[in-house]
Amino acid sequence: MRSVRMAAALMVLDAGLAGMVWAQEQAPREAQPCFACHGERGQGTTQGPMLAGLSTQYIEAQIDHFISGQRSNPLMTPMAQAYTDLQLRRPVATYFASQGKLPELHVRGQLQAGSAAERLYYQGDITRGIPACYSCHGPSAVGGGPFPRLAGQQADYVSAQLLAWQKGERKGDPGNMMAAIAKRLSAEDIQALGRYLAAIQ
């Protein structure tokens, strides 16, 4: 009797897991307008950055920022305006958040910095008041919650965003923290960080 119940429970569990995988595979209709620039799995294209693996919270917040004008992009601003309705926005954000795979995880202290960018990421630079990027973006730049995943993001996109923070062209970061830190980065840091983060797979 007990084994029958156990078997039944396992079957239900199995069906549940299969359902979950299927739900991730299947893109919601609302996400289709995003594919041209961001790719069907949010992997990014030459037209738009990677969305795969960004948190739902972060994706939703960026749509808000494009609507409010804290971020600005000739293509993305009008697209975002079509997603003012949370009912439309949520499934899109959830879908892209569930894409991609975790990189190999390195926690702070595990790596001897192999490059200046890796040193900035895991150690920061106390002489310039730059905390380790790790403090908010986490192991191997996986991000979470309000902090974007940077692992595997396009190098040019990351560099362009850091420059936008520096110039005050991008806003809306929690507590203005990213803008404050970006202003302390040199042009070389910004290029190097873009390349370093893009290479984390």
Partner 1 sequence: MRSNRIWPMILLWCALPNLAQAVYPDMQEEIATQPKAADEHYFTPRDLSRIPSGAFGDKVRKGYELFVNTQQLKGRYVGNTLNCTNCHLDAGTKAYAAPMWAAYLAYPAFRKKDNRVNNFAERIQGCFNYSMNGKAPALDSPELVAMSAYSYWLLMGGLLDMFGMQDKPVPELDDKHLQLGGNDESFVLPGPLAGRVKMAGREHMPGRAFATLARPPEDASPSRGQQVYSQYCAVCHGDQGQGREMADVPVLPALWGAQSYNWGAGMHRVNTAATFIFENMPLGKGVQLSVQEAWDVAAFINSRERPQDPRFNGDLSSTAKAFHGADQGYYGKTVDGKALGSQAFPSGIQP
- Does 168 participate in binding partner 1 (rule CB under 8 A)? no
Task: Compute the distance between CA of residue 173 and CA of residue 86 in angstroms, rounded to an integer.
Answer: 20
| Cα angle for residues 87, 33, 82 (degrees, 5° grid) | 50
Binding mask 124-163 for partner 1 (x = CB under 8 A): x-xx-xxxx-xxxxxxx-xxxxxx----------------
Residue (26 or 127) nearer to partner 1, CB: 127
Task: Compute the distance between CA of residue 182 and CA of residue 27 in angstroms, rounded to an integer.
Answer: 35
Binding mask 97-126 for partner 1 (x = CB under 8 A): -----x--x-xxxx-xx---------xx-x
- Does 201 participate in binding partner 1 (rule CB under 8 A)? no
- DSSP-based helix, strand, coil % in the chain, nearest 5: 60, 5, 40
The least CB distance from residue 160 to partner 1, in Å, is: 21
Cβ partners under 8 Å of residue 65, min gap 6: 71, 171, 172
DSSP letter assigned to residue 109: T
| Cβ(44)–Cβ(154) below 8 Å | yes
- Does 165 participate in binding partner 1 (rule CB under 8 A)? no
Looking up tokens 């991008």, which residue turns up? 170
Give the one residue of 5, 22, 74, 175 binding partner 1; rule: CB under 8 A. 175
Residue (64 or 156) nearer to partner 1, CB: 64
Residue (34 or 166) nearer to partner 1, CB: 166
Contacting residues toward partner 1, per CB under 8 A:
102, 105, 107-110, 112-113, 123-124, 126-127, 129-132, 134-140, 142-147, 174-177, 180-181
